[in-house]
Amino acid sequence: MTEMIKLTGLTKRFGQITAVDAVDMTVESGEVLGFLGPNGAGKSTTMKMVAGFLEPTAGSASVCGWDIQRDPVALKKTLGYLPEGAPTYGDMTPQSYLRFIAAIRGFDGAERQRRVDAMVDRIALREVLHQPIETLSKGFKRRVGLAQTMLHDPPVLIMDEPTDGLDPNQKRHVRSLIREMAAEKAIVISTHILEEVEAVCTRAMIIARGKICADARPDELRSRAWNHNMVLITADAGDEATLMKAIGDLPEVGTIDVAGRSGDTVRLRIQPAGREQIGPRIGEFVRSKSLPVRELFIEQGSLDEVFWSITTDDGKQDSEHA
């Protein structure tokens, strides 16, 4: 594992506004980093600086050891960058566009055509190869952008919302592409689709107001949710009091309350007293006492909750109270 991307105190100000505020981060080969944050948090600005499109106001960024200010062209050679919205020249066909990119990336003659062909097959562009890009569907346009990003098989990929605006099948396809490449590359994707982070990322970073607020594995992040390890029990309405009493007396249990009723059933919500897993303990207890429980469910916590609590003021207060 080697350090492929390194940011040190990277800062970008637009006039009075600090879009990115002294961000430090390293990404190693083999990692897929999910860059999360509300709109306007500084995700795109950070990525644009690493890709060499924006000049940082302060701090430094390097990719594969190339500094963005000193060796921008060498850095851009090692990098595949997909800008937000995957803009491409609409009047060109995928074929001519990819040939142009391949030429700029230094491929000639037969090698150039081989690269283009391989990418066209891999990303399933064959059927639209000779149509102007502006006439293609959103999914195909995005795929042309992805093909351009990966054409030179770069060791580092930075993709700004690679699945934005795609239908579920296309999203799935793009995610599987990213997973295929993940082993030997360092990949950074930005997204605000949280399921995507769980599906492809080995690491998640939450950024808000230009600052990094969290940096952890997706499952670690999820364990910070207020409802992580919460146990939900469904039972007959008539057994409510018995269960509340029996389970509420367990030392591991913090609180127990009614989450909802429907018809003749009731749902009880059990919060742990500490951070430990209480699911198995309650399951065992229910079995040993033969308590009248219909269904027992252990909540894993969701990234949504964590994201909300980290990136909003309301969320912060809420998680402090919880």
Partner 1 sequence: MRNIGIIARREIGSYFGTPLAYVFIVIFLALSGALCFYLGGFLFRGQADLEPFFVYHPWLYLLLVPAIAMRLWAEERKTGTIENLMTLPISTPEAVLGKFLAAWLFCGIALTLTFPVWITVNILGDPDNGVIVASYIGSFLMAGAFMAIGSCMSALSKNQVIAFIIAATACFLFTMSGLDLVLNFFRGWSPEWLVTTVASMSFLTHFNSVTQGVIEFRDLVFFVSLITFWLFANVVIVDLKKAA
Site residues (vs partner 1, CB under 8 A): 48, 51-54, 72-74, 76-77, 79, 81, 83-85, 87-92, 96, 100-101, 103-106, 132, 148
Report, in Å, the least distance between residue 214 CB and partner 1. Answer: 27
Give the DSSP letter string of 26-70. Answer: EEETT-EEEEE--TTSSHHHHHHHHTTSS--SEEEEEETTEETTT
Cα dist from 251 to 97, 227, 234, whole Å: 66, 19, 21
Report, in Å, the least distance between residue 20 CB and partner 1. Answer: 13
Of residues 107 and 308, the one with the C-beta less far from partner 1: 107
Structure-token match 């934005």, residue found: 164
Of residues 41 and 51, the one with the C-beta less far from partner 1: 51
Report, in Å, the least distance between residue 54 CB and partner 1. Answer: 5
Of residues 146 and 253, the one with the C-beta less far from partner 1: 146
Distance CA 259, CA 19 (A): 41
Report, in Å, the least distance between residue 263 CB and partner 1. Answer: 54
CA 157, 49, 212, 63 dihedral sign is: positive
- How do beta strands 17-28 and 3-14 pair? antiparallel
The structure tokens listed for 219 are 């499952």
Report, in Å, the least distance between residue 143 CB and partner 1. Answer: 15
Of residues 101 and 247, the one with the C-beta less far from partner 1: 101
Of residues 65 and 90, the one with the C-beta less far from partner 1: 90
